């Protein structure tokens, strides 16, 4: 109960507690807007059968942006209660939102915090179709907090940080989904500790050197699963021109993943309760993954300007070759970034990393006007946006080898606003050999794309267009799922505090062995801002 309250309240706490303390510095740059609203929503089948469904949504939320010399914070959180008009339309409650804050406590010392709340489909059928059936919907919470410190000691730069995170998935699943075999994520605590010391090229030596070390741990409730990662390395940077440098590093890393066995019935089958394995606390902790070896990588760093940076590395890790890289460009009113990644991850650590990646200001949180849910991406012209599609597409309790690429672009120019996000990932699950209760040796793949366009006609009139697509290629007996949709909304300011909106959209889902469902949606609503 306490953990649930922490996750659910973290977004609201950032909005209500941070702002007064922060705004004392520069009140003029703090913009906090609480609001309430009411919407009427209707959905009707275009393909796949079904009934016309009607909902009345009542919402309460707050948007906030604070930026001054002490604080940089952005918050967008909303509570939505849907009243169904028939037995086919059950009442639903949804808490959704994103928050990120950085508070400068003292010279070099800052406190960082963030949170995410959203709703997803446990069976992989996302989009507005979650309106039609809440029996397989999951509420996801994730939040983190921790200090970071940096200082200069002569020619040496010293950095240190700690992060405490908590992730939780709540759902009403009381039976095993096809092919899932009880491997549902419940909750986990994460700890991340990082420290480094080094000097830049051309100070003590022609080459720059940095020694760093870190420790990461995740404790998940499902089967008492534990992830531990300790590492240390030495990195070198050798400039070869004004804009190009060769980089490389060598170190040592140890990774251990362990878990207990599930309780078993008289016939030997594992016991499942509420869609999850019942942990046998009496069994010893079994080691299911153990990596202990030298790691190394080498590559190139290109920085032609303060706005542009490219990094590419190739090396050996996890017993094989790895490839990583990134490219970022920051314009005056736009940003672009692409990242190639490779690592050992889990849902808890992955969603925490996504939340921690949200930063900066001018965050555009795109919501589905029919459900209130997040559409998958938050865009930012300052480079602090993030897409969550990948994390939320296939929630599982297992650890996995996680590789892929992700890109995002945001632009705000005149009356126009643009946002584009896309990516691909592959997950190869790490499970005990010879144990059939988890997905063993399986592989999932996910492709996603999100786009948004907004246009402001005047101070009182604006509209936007949003499209989304996600294809999840599932392993085992689980169905492959394609989600797609688009909607457009028109907003009109009626008075200084009262505004109206109207939306129309299409939402579709196609899954193996299931009939394709395409729905038409409509919405009209009023919002009052305080």
Q: What is the CATH number of the domain that holds 334?
A: 2.40.170
What is the pLDDT, as a whole number, of residue 122? 58
Q: Report the alpha-carbon distance of residue 520 to residue 341 in Å, rounded.
A: 37
Handedness of CA 10, 15, 16, 22 (dihedral sign): positive
- pLDDT exceeds 90 at position 101: yes
Domain count, the chain: 1
Domain that holds residue 251: 2-529
- pLDDT exceeds 80 at position 14: no
Bigger pLDDT: 477 vs 195: 195
Q: Would you state the structure tokens that stand for residue 212, as one six-digit string?
A: 């760093």
- pLDDT exceeds 50 at position 452: yes
Structural contact between residues 132 and 118, judged by C-beta atoms closer than 8 angstroms: no
Residues 272-300 have pLDDT tens digits of 877 778 888 888 888 888 889 999 999 99
Q: DSSP class of residue 8?
A: H
What is the pLDDT, as a whole number, of residue 396? 82
Top-confidence range, 71-75, 293-297, 443-447: 293-297
Looking at residues 385-392, what average pLDDT do you find? Answer: 87
CA 272 from chain center: how many Å? Answer: 28
What is the pLDDT, as a whole number, of residue 188? 95
Looking at residues 360-375, what average pLDDT do you find? Answer: 83
Among 8-17, 190-199, 398-407, 473-482, which is the least confidently predicted range?
A: 8-17
Looking at residues 384-406, what average pLDDT do you find? Answer: 87
- pLDDT exceeds 60 at position 95: yes
- pLDDT exceeds 90 at position 113: yes
Q: Report the alpha-carbon distance of residue 296 to residue 311 in Å, rounded.
A: 16
CA-angle at 115, arms to 371 and 173, nearest 5°: 55
Q: Would you state the structure tokens that stand for residue 411, as one six-digit string?
A: 């632009």
Model confidence, pTM: 0.86
Burial of 305 (0-12, 13-18, 19+ CB in 10 A): exposed
Among 83-92, 174-183, 249-258, 423-432, which is the least confidently predicted range?
A: 174-183
Looking at residues 124-128, what average pLDDT do you find? Answer: 50
- Supply φ then ψ for residue 4, to 5 degrees: -60, -40
Nearest to 93 by CA among 104, 78, 110, 74: 78
Handedness of CA 472, 314, 148, 214 (dihedral sign): positive
Query: What's the whole-number average pLDDT of the chain?
Result: 86
Bigger pLDDT: 26 vs 241: 241
What is the pLDDT, as a whole number, of residue 393? 78
What is the pLDDT, as a whole number, of residue 13? 42
What is the pLDDT, as a whole number, of residue 123? 54
Q: Is 131 helix (H, G, I), strand (E, B) or coil?
A: helix
Structural contact between residues 387 and 393, judged by C-beta atoms closer than 8 angstroms: no
Q: Report the alpha-carbon distance of residue 311 to residue 326 in Å, rounded.
A: 5
Looking at residues 92-101, what average pLDDT do you find? Answer: 91
Looking at residues 443-465, what average pLDDT do you find? Answer: 93
What is the pLDDT, as a whole number, of residue 136? 63
């Amino acid at each position: 109960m306490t953990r649930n309250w922490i996750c659910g309240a973290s977004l609201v706490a950032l909005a209500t507690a941070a702002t007064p303390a922060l705004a004392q510095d520069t009140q003029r740059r703090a913009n906090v807007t609480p609001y309430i609203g009411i919407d009427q929503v209707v959905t009707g089948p275009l393909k796949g059968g079904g009934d016309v469904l009607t909902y009345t949504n009542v919402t309460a939320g707050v948007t906030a942006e604070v930026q001054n010399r002490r604080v940089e914070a952005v918050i967008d959180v909303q509570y939505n209660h849907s009243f169904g008009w028939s037995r086919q339309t059950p009442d639903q409650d949804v808490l959704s939102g994103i928050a990120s804050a950085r508070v400068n406590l003292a010279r070099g010392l800052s406190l960082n915090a963030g949170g995410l709340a959203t709703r997803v489909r446990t069976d992989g059928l996302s989009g507005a179709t979650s309106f039609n059936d809440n029996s397989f919907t999951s509420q996801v919470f994730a939040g983190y907090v921790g200090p970071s410190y940096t200082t200069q000691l002569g020619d040496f730069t010293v950095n240190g940080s700690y992060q405490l995170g908590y992730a939780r998935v709540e759902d009403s699943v009381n039976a095993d989904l096809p092919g899932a075999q009880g491997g549902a994520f419940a909750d986990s605590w994460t700890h991340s500790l990082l420290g480094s010391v080094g000097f830049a090229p051309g100070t003590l030596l022609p080459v720059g050197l940095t020694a760093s070390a870190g420790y990461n741990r995740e404790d998940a409730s499902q089967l008492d699963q534990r992830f531990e990662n300790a590492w240390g390395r030495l990195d070198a940077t050798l400039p070869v021109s004004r804009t190009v440098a060769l980089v490389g590093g060598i170190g040592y890393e140890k990774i251990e993943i362990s878990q207990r066995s599930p309780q078993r019935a008289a016939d030997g089958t594992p016991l499942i309760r509420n869609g999850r394995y019942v942990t046998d606390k009496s069994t010893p902790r079994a080691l299911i993954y153990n990596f202990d070896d030298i790691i190394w990588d080498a590559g190139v760093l290109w920085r032609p300007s303060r706005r542009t940076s490219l990094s590419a590395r190739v090396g050996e890790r996890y017993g094989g070759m790895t490839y990583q890289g990134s490219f970022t460009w920051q314009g005056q009113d736009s940003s672009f970034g692409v990242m190639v990644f490779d690592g050992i991850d889990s849902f808890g650590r992955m969603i925490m990393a996504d939340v921690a990646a949200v930063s900066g200001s001018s965050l555009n949180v795109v919501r589905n006007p029919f459900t209130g849910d997040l559409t998958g991406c938050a865009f930012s012209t300052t480079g602090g946006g993030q897409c969550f599609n990948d994390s939320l597409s296939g929630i599982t309790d297992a650890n996995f080898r996680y590789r892929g690429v992700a890109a995002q672009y945001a632009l705000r120019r005149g009356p126009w606003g643009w946002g584009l996000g896309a990516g691909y990932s592959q997950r190869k699950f790490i499970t005990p050999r010879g144990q059939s209760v988890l997905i063993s040796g399986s592989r999932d793949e996910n492709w996603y794309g999100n786009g948004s366009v907004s246009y402001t006609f005047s101070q009182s009139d604006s509209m936007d267009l949003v499209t989304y697509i996600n294809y999840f290629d599932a392993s085992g007996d689980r169905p492959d799922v394609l989600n797609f949709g688009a909607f457009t909304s028109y907003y009109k300011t009626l008075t200084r505090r009262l505004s109206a909106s109207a939306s129309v959209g299409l939402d579709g889902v196609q899954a193996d062995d299931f009939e394709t469902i395409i729905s038409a949606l409509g919405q009209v609503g009023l919002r009052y801002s305080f």
